[in-house]
Each structure stands twice: as structure tokens, then as C-alpha cells.
Structure 1
Amino acid sequence: MASRNHLQQRVLAYLFIAPALLITLGVVAYPILNVVVRSFRIEGEDAYGFDHYIYLFTNSIALNNLYYTLYIVVITVVLSLAAAYGLALFMRFSNSAVSRTIGALYLIPRFIPGLVAVNAMITVIRDSGLLNRIALAFGYDFKPGLMFNEKGIILMNLWFNIPFATMLILSALSNIPDSVIDSARDAGASRRVLFTKMIIPLTRKDVMIAATFIFMGNVGSFTTPYLMDSTSPQMIGITLFTQFNNLNYENAAALSVVMFLLCSVSAAVYIYTNMKDKAWEKQE
């Protein structure tokens, strides 16, 4: 009887989750599978092969677009994390008026629509923008040279990603009790030891979360490179749009799979780090 009741409970539980599972399969799994299958279809023929992937990894223009994208994304991740970590440390361990002001204002960029922020930045940094007009008032013709190249894109990416990374890292730092830090100092630990032996290990997982989401969010970015970048090379988000707009659906599908694989590598690094942390916790 008990076994029968247990079986009924399991069946009932599966029935409850079935609608969500079916929706997930319909709107997530099926489109992904369809794109993967289509990426192997040879255009104009009733056959399948690796032609589109061979093109992506042998054509010089396609390779330059891929390298260009990874270059921008990696620099964005590194600079965002470095700036965010510094800001988070300052806000966590400083009680000055400056740190409190930054703590009250640093999330404001997260509430500004992306298109509005990009257009606002363009009016400031373009060669005939606000910076140039201010310089002209003092007799200088200052041209920042931040439009239609990777510099402007990276600058805009930092605007979007530093507040997000700071929020995650600051949350991790706030979970470290002051009593633990004070005890370590009383035991003779220097600032370097506190940072390398305590703060970094305790915030490593949150840093990886921030890095993962920044990487994935910028690999396929569209608005910023569309408005601020040159025509060649292009980030792969723009390339994907161009391929799809030109009705090259199979090439677009193959490029989508490549983007998904790039994001999967980033996610795998995070999962591996998270699993190591959980294994360490179990040993403790």
C-alpha cells in the first residue's frame, strides 16, 4: 500500500511539472535543435554537410570577425571585473562619504535603456561631440577617435557591465563578517594576506558568475556595435543579422551554433568552478 501511494505521488509530481517541461521543450529545445540541424543543410540541395562551418573557419573575413569579437569580449570581461572588484572593495571597506555616494549611484546605468545610453555616449565621444566642443572653447581641437572602432565599443560595454559585476562582487564581500576580518587582523594577517587568502577565495565564485554573464552578454551584442562600429571587421552579432537579413539562413544557423558553443565554454568554466567549491565545502 505504501509503495502504491509513493508511486501515485511520483506520478502526480510528474503531471504537475509536465506543462512547464512541454513549454520548455517547445520554446527552447526545439528551436535550438532546429537551428543545429539547419546549420548542416547544404543550401539549394537536399543534403547535409559541414560546408557552412568550413566557411566560417576558413574564410578570412569570417575568421577576422570571430577574432575581433573575442578580442572585444575578453577585454571587456577583464576590464569590467578589475574595475568592479576595485569599486566593490572600496564600498565594502570604506565608510567615507565618497563610498556611500558611489554605493547610492553605481547602479543607475542599469536602469537606462541600452539604446538611450549608446546614443547619449555617441553625442559625447564622437569627434564632433561634447568633448570636442568643450576643447574648442579652450582653443583645442580634441578628437577622441572612439567611434567606428573597438575602443568605443569597449567603453560602452564597460558602462553596461561594471555596475552589474560590482553588484555581484559587493554582495559576496558583504557576506564576509567584519568579525572574521578583525580576527584575522588581530592574528597578525597583513592586508595582502587578507586579500589573497581570504577575500579572493570567498568571492571567486561570484567573480566567475559575473565573468560568465558578461562574456555571454557581449558575444552576441547587437545595439552597441551596430551604432558605433565600422563595417569591417564586424562583431558576430552584426554578422548574424546581416546573414539573416540577406536570407542566408543556413549560414546564420551555423553562426548561431558557434555563438552558442562560445557561450557554453564560458558556462562550463563557471560550472566547473562551482562544482569545485561544493566539493571543498563537503570536505570541510
Structure 2
Amino acid sequence: MKQKKIKLCLPYLMVTPAFLVMLLVVILPIINTVVQSFSTADGSFTLANYRYFLTSPEAFESLIFTLVESLSTMLLAVILSFFLALYLRFSKSAISRIIGRLYLLPRFIPGIVAVYAVMNIIKDSGFINRFLQLFGIMYKPGLLYDMKGIILCNLWFNIPFSAMLLSAALSNVTDSYVESAKDAGCGWKMILIKIIWPLVYKDIIVAATFILMGQIGSFTIPYLTGPNNPKMLGILLYQQVNTYLDYQRAAALSVLMFIICLSGAVVYIKSNMKEEVWQTVK
């Protein structure tokens, strides 16, 4: 009887240390942040912290700016990486093999180093401007300190990450599927819609979700390449804590950022649930 009780309790005892660590570093900080977001400096209840970010012109513009930048980066990164992954999967050329070995290289370059490298190319006095001056062309890209610069720098990091996920998904599309479809008279458009898409759409949602969550809380790239106003929410959160010392508003902004990220997670969870239901019915 004693050994049976030990066997029953052993799994819970083994899980307890991990649960306590998660409780300490994840659950308690979340609860504390939510409580603080509804509090004033003296501890009384208030909705003013949330009202500020939804009614203040500067804060609301920053919220919209972040959403537009995040969704734009997500869409561009997923679309470009999907076509890159398709090319790497189905092309047999020497160029595709070289790209297949090199496309992950940006992931191994320190972030701030990569940002400064991109800045030295796209700024008005950067490489593009100096190169065109050799041909008598005076061209200023106007990409830096603007949303376009943030998106461009973020694509540097997110396209390799997304392409890696989609390349792994496309490995499930065997050549026999494609050849059978071609023998049946299907073109590439029909093959893409009927064969490739059902096998990779889940991984596309995963890539899009991770990119979106990374963009909502991004700091380094917007800090170095973004405009002073409006600004990304990560910069706004940094200012609330370090410049204004307003921890209650910072907590409210953290909750809002979490809710935005949660929307992407809901889409991912729903896609998994639909797949499980489909498998059960089948």
C-alpha cells in the first residue's frame, strides 16, 4: 500500500519544482501586473491607466502604428518566406542549393550588428545613395526613421525564421504527390491549392503567430530605426517605466500588449482544434 501511494505521488513530486518555478517567474508576475494596471499610485482602483492608452492621441497613434507595422511585417514575411521555401523545395538548380545553405545566416548575426548594417545601406547617406552617385544619380531612399525602415529591418530576421518552418513543412510534400497531380492534368496553381496548402497552412499560422508576437513587443529595431512619434509599444512601455516612472500605466500597457498577442494565439489554437476534429471524424 505504501509503495502504491509513493507511485501515485511520485509524478506530482517530480512536476512540483517546475510548477513552482513557473509560478514564481510567470504566473505571479502576470497576476501582479494585472492588479497593478487597475491601481493608482496609492493603491486605489481605477480605469484611468487603460483610458489613457485608448483616449490619449499620442498613445492611441502609437497603438495603431504598432498594429499596422506588426501586421505588415507578418504578412510580408510569411508571403516572401513561403515563396522562398517553395523555391528551395522544388528547384533543383545550383542557385537554390546555395541559397538553401545561406538563407539562415541572418539568424546567427547579432541583432544590433545587423540593424546597424542595414542602416548603413538604407539611410539617405548610405550605400545606396553613394553607389548611385557614381552614375550621377542623387537618390535618398528615405527609409530610415520611418515605418518602412522598421519593416525592412524586421524582414531581415523574420524571413529566414519563417522560411525554416515552412521548408520543414514542405518536406512532407513528396514528389510523388506532385507528379501524380501533374499526370492527372493539374497545373501548379491547382497543385498549390489542393495539395501543398492543406499540408502547410498550419505551419504558416505558427510562423505568422510567432512573428506577430515578436513585433508587438519589439524594442531594438524600433528604437534605432523608428520615428520619435508615433512609436512602437515597446518604446512606449520603456518610456513609461524609465522616463515617467509610471509603473501603473506600464502595467496597463503590458496587459494590452498581451491581449493583442493573445489574439494571434487564439487563431493558432482554433486551427489545431479544427484539425483534431477533422481527424476524429475521419
Shorter-chain-normalised TM-score: which range? Answer: over 0.9
Amino acid at match of 1:219: I
Tell me the CA shift for residue 155 of structure 1. Answer: 0.4
Q: Which residue of 2 aligns with 1:91?
A: 88
Structure 1 length normalisation: TM-score? 0.96
| Residue equivalent to 1:53 | 50
Aligned to 1:155, which of 152, 157, 160?
Answer: 152
**Deviations, residues 11-42 of structure 1 (Å, cap 9, x unaligned):** 11100110010001001111111111111111
| CA pair 277-6 structure 1, distance change in 2 beyond 3 A | farther
Pairs within 5 Å for 1:134-213:
134-213=131-210
What corresponds to 1:251 in structure 2?
249
8 Å CA contact 2:172–2:199 kept in 1: the answer is no
Return the match for 2:279 from 256, 277, 281.
281
Q: CA deviation at 1:253?
A: 0.6
Distance 1:184 1:141 in 2: 51
Q: Where do 5+ consecutive residues of structure 2 fail to align?
A: none
| TM norm structure 2 | 0.97
Q: Please, which of 210, 213, 228 is the counterpart of residue 231 of structure 1?
A: 228
- 1:130 is aligned to 2:127: yes
Count of residues in Structure 1 that have an aligned counterpart in Structure 2: 281
Distance in 2 (CA, whole Å) between partners of 1:56 and 1:282 is: 44
**How many angstroms apart in 1 are the aligned matches of 2:175 and 2:60?**
50
Deviant stretches of 4+, over 4 Å: 4-7
Stretch of structure 1 that moved more, 185-194 or 237-246: 185-194
Percent identical: 48
- Residue 6 of structure 1 deviates from its aligned partner by 5.1
Match of 1:22 in 2: 20
After superposing the two structures, state which structure 1 stretch, 54-63 or 274-283, moved more: 274-283
- Alignment partners' CA distance in 1, 2:123 and 2:46: 45
Shift of 1:7: 4.4
